[in-house]
Structure 1
């Protein structure tokens, strides 16, 4: 039985940069600073929640989160951050698609990083 994919290729219009923070030595004075480094980039799309799903997350820690779908990649984990259109997000949850389908998507629940 052929399952309909979650997204069409034309839906994947967001450039999602997967990042990590690394300590780098400043060439000017030798001090150590933390810098965000992009490890890899994938295309993704926002996934809208249904009205019932929105009601279920009100009042929980997932209230101010977004859901993003990207093509399946085993490198994606919760220690990575993501950047979309210059905005940094933290990965709260990953729902990987480990099926044997030729098109598989990972669903990421992310929250905007505020400083």
Structure 2
């Protein structure tokens, strides 16, 4: 199934990286997102049927984005879009032999205290 994406579809940027723990002035250990690299992405739309299937699961409220294939994607733990940090719940890398490949990343918004 060929992907017929246009370059203009990938108009937004996502930063990918990992959390890093550091000590505050008050002596508390706090974890914050540290970006490693950024990619342009396209947000994947879900059908109503797909949304209903996710209700009540750990992926309820998640989003899926599409990025150009990058081998580093499978090693990342978090992503940041427009200042909002997400955990990478799933990375589906494109292992085809196509010249242009795309990875699908499922992101779950991080909520403080959860």
TM-score by length of 2: 0.82
**Larger radius of gyration between Structure 1 and Structure 2:** 1
**Structure-2 residue corresponding to 1:73:** 70
Bigger CA drift: 49-58 or 39-48? Answer: 49-58
Unaligned runs of at least 5 residues, structure 2 = none
Change (3 A) 1:33 1:62: closer
**Structure-1 residue corresponding to 2:55:** 58
How much does 1:22 deviate? 3.1
TM-score by length of 1: 0.82
Distance 1:4 1:62 in 2: 26
Change (3 A) 1:60 1:24: closer
1:43 correspondence with 2:40:
yes
**Structure-2 residue corresponding to 1:18:** 16
How much does 1:21 deviate? 2.6
Greater helix proportion: 2
How much does 1:113 deviate? 0.6
Change (3 A) 1:78 1:63: farther
CA RMSD of aligned residues (A): 2.5
Distance 1:79 1:110 in 2: 11
The list of structure 1 runs, each at least 4 consecutive aligned residues, that deviate by more than 6 angstroms after superposition, is none
